[in-house]
Structures are given as structure tokens and as C-alpha cells.
Amino acid sequence: MGTIFSRGDHFLVTESKSKNGYAALLSKGEIANASVPTVCNIQCLGELNEGDIVQIEPNGMVNVLYEAQSPHNVLMLTERCNSSCIMCPQPKVAAEQDKTPLNLKLISWMDKKTRSLGLTGGEPTLLGDKLVDILLACKKTLPKTALNLLTNAIRFEDLAYAQKIAAIGHPDLMIDVPLYGATDTEHNEIVGSNSFYKTIRGLYNLAFFRQKIGIRVVIHKANYKRLPQLAEFIYRNFPFVFHIAFMQMEPTGLARKNIEQLWIDPYDYNAELKEAVDSLFDRNMNVSIYNTQLCVLPVSLRKFAKQSISSWKNIYIDECSDCAVRQQCAGFFESSRDLHSTHIKATGADHRAVACLSQKT
């Protein structure tokens, strides 16, 4: 499916009838003698909507690459990376087929009303000038779509490359960069490379060209104790950043592999998180808490919590069924179903006004 002009670029979703001219057929029933690739007996076709973009694998698996009605669409630009973060939810690969032609096609098919689009990896800047092509295509085809580029900023230590990205002049591009420690030792041990100062130079180069920059901090056992020091480091060295996000860890990929080294109940780092968030907020910096359940946070921090988990991997567990603030809560990653705080509990109606008001602050 896609917002395109030729039947040959469309997939037809049907009960059981075959029609000519489509690229493929997706059916709830059986279709005999179909002349195009066909996947039958799909039970969840009702989850697809007009304008969604799907991919059919040779084995019949149907992958949804874009959901027209979702605010959380993402393009995977590459699975290669120049870091080896110990909690990475998307482990890198050494070699891959270039995804750029497919991604350019996806951009051309997306609804012009798409509100936001994430550009992620791997490390997107490893594409070099192909990342420029992606950004230019977004600017031309999706001019009203906010872009969020996730990058470790190592490549942006090259001033010329930072200038090349800035010269695109995208009207709504946010470049989010992970920073995990206030010293090179702390950060480098987590990212698995000697890249701390390269990232720092990348941040300054992006700032030099007046790019909108965010900093993201994934919290785990290896760095939670020094969150206040990291917040102080960010304030003193990067007062120009647009946003800082403190993020609960997604327990999948390398994070799951290294879980003994990384896991701490999010409730148990509330003191450090509160000190870090308060110190930035009190200095008029824009700070948020991502991926975290409202019932785990002290009431004073709930106003910073955002519904940040992508809809396709967002769940709520049984304890959430009767919660008065479920609609305002981030919920959980699917991978957190069996690994989450022991302090999860339904919040009663007497706390609803406080939580809802906080969300609108």
C-alpha cells in the first residue's frame, strides 16, 4: 500500500478476490491462480490502513515499513555503526546492502501530512553524502514533516561535513546525540570506542552552523550514579542545546545480552535522576524523561515524562489495566514485558489530577 499513482506500485488488500495490475495481493482468505505475489490467510489485515507501506519477504512475511496514521514512523538508514554501545537495542552489522534506494522510494510514497519522521541506524552519518540525499528528499517531498536524526556525531567532527548537512537548510531538523558520561573514560567505556572528544567536537561544529541539537542519556547501572555530574557537564559545556532527554533503557539487543552488567530498577535511580533533571530545569534548560512509567517516578518528576515509545513496540502490562493515568503514561517497551520495575502499580483517581496537570506543564 502507498500513496502513489500507479496500480503497479500498490498492494491490494482483499477478502479473497484477485484483481489485475497490482504489485501484490494480501488476503484474509485463499486466492487461486493469482498472477502476482500473493500472501493468503493473513489474520491481522485489519491493522493496515490506506497509505501504509508494506514489504513482502520471499518467505511470505509482511513487514510494515510506514504507518500513515502513526506519529512514530522511522527510517532505518543503515545497520552499520562506528560505536559498540553496551546497551544498543539494534546491534550493528559489518556489511549490508545499501538501504538508500529503498528509503528514497519510501520517502516519495509517504503521506505529505506526515507529522514527524525518525532517521536512525546504526549510525546514519556512515552514509556520507547519501545522508545528504535522504535529507534533501525529505525537504523536497515532505516539507512539513519534522525530522529527528539520531547520530553519535562522531562524523561531525569534520567541519566540512557538518557544514554540508547544515547547508541543506531543512526547516525542521533535530539532531539528537547520545552522551553517557561527563568524562571520556565514562562515555568511552559505554560506547565501546575512544570517541568522547570526537562527539564533543561534533556537537560544537553543529552548534557553529546553528543546528537544532538534542542530547540523549540512556540510564543504566553503569552511569546512573553520576547523572547529576553529567547534567552539570551538559549545562556548562552545551548551553546551546535545544533539549535533553533522560531515557529508561530498552532491554533488547546488546542490552539484554549485557543485562547483568546494566540492569537497575528505574525506581532505584530516582534520587540521581531528580537531582539531574531539577538542576537543568532550574537553569531554564528544556529537559524530558523518556520511556518511563508515571507510577515509578516521584510526583515532582511526572511533569517531565513523555509518551516516547514508538507505537509498534509500545505495550501496557496487566498492572496498568485499572490505572487512572494510563492514557498519559509512556507504558513499556515490548521487550520490558518480563523485565521492569518492581514498583509498577495502578495510580488511583486521587492522583489523576496531579499527573494530568503535570503532563501539560
Q: Which tens digits make up the pLDDT trace of 174-217?
A: 999 999 999 999 999 999 999 999 999 999 999 999 999 999 99
Supply φ then ψ for residue 347, to 5 degrees.
Answer: -90, 130
- 343 and 274 within one domain: no
Residue carrying the nine cell digits 513496540: 313
Q: What is the per-residue pLDDT for 122?
A: 96
Beta bridge pairs of residue 243: 214
What is the CATH classification number for the domain harbouring 166? Answer: 3.20.20.70
What residues make up the domain containing 323?
A: 298-361
- 266 and 225 within one domain: yes
- 127 and 47 within one domain: no
- 305 and 236 within one domain: no
Task: Give Rg (Cα) of the chain.
Answer: 22
| Burial status of residue 23 (CB atoms within 10 A of its CB: 0-12, 13-18, 19 or more) | middle
Please identify, among 290, 313, 329, the residue that sits at the C-terminal boundary of a domain.
290
CB distance 60 to 49 below 8 Å: no
- 166 and 33 within one domain: no
- Residues of the chain falling short of pLDDT 70: 1-46, 58-62, 348-361
Q: Based on DSSP, count helices (H) and strands (E) in the chain, helices before strands.
A: 10, 14
Identify whether 1 is part of a domain: no
3-state SS assignment for residue 148 = strand
- 302 and 267 within one domain: no
Identify whether 30 is part of a domain: yes
Please identify, among 256, 272, 290, the residue that sits at the C-terminal boundary of a domain.
290
Report the b/e string of 155-181 with b at 16+ CB within 10 A: bbbeeebbebbbeeebeebbbbbbbbb
Please identify, among 16, 38, 65, the residue that sits at the C-terminal boundary of a domain.
65
Q: Total structural domains in the chain? A: 3
- 114 and 217 within one domain: yes
Identify whether 259 is part of a domain: yes
Q: Which tens digits make up the pLDDT trace of 62-73?
A: 678 898 888 889
Angle at the Cα of 329 from the Cα atoms of 173 and 53, rounded to 5 degrees = 50
Q: Grid coordinates standing for 56?
A: 513482502
- 239 and 121 within one domain: yes
- 135 and 246 within one domain: yes
Using CA atoms, how far apart are residues 177 and 294, in angstroms rounded to an integer? 25
**Bridge-based pairing state of the strands 116-120 and 53-56:** unpaired
Identify whether 2 is part of a domain: no
CB distance 28 to 13 below 8 Å: no
Residues in the chain: 361
What is the model's pTM?
Answer: 0.87
Q: What is the DSSP string of 46-113?
A: GG--TT-EEEE-TTS-EEEEE-TT-S--EEE--S--S---TT-SS---S-----HHHHHHHHHHS-TT
Q: What is the per-residue pLDDT for 355?
A: 43
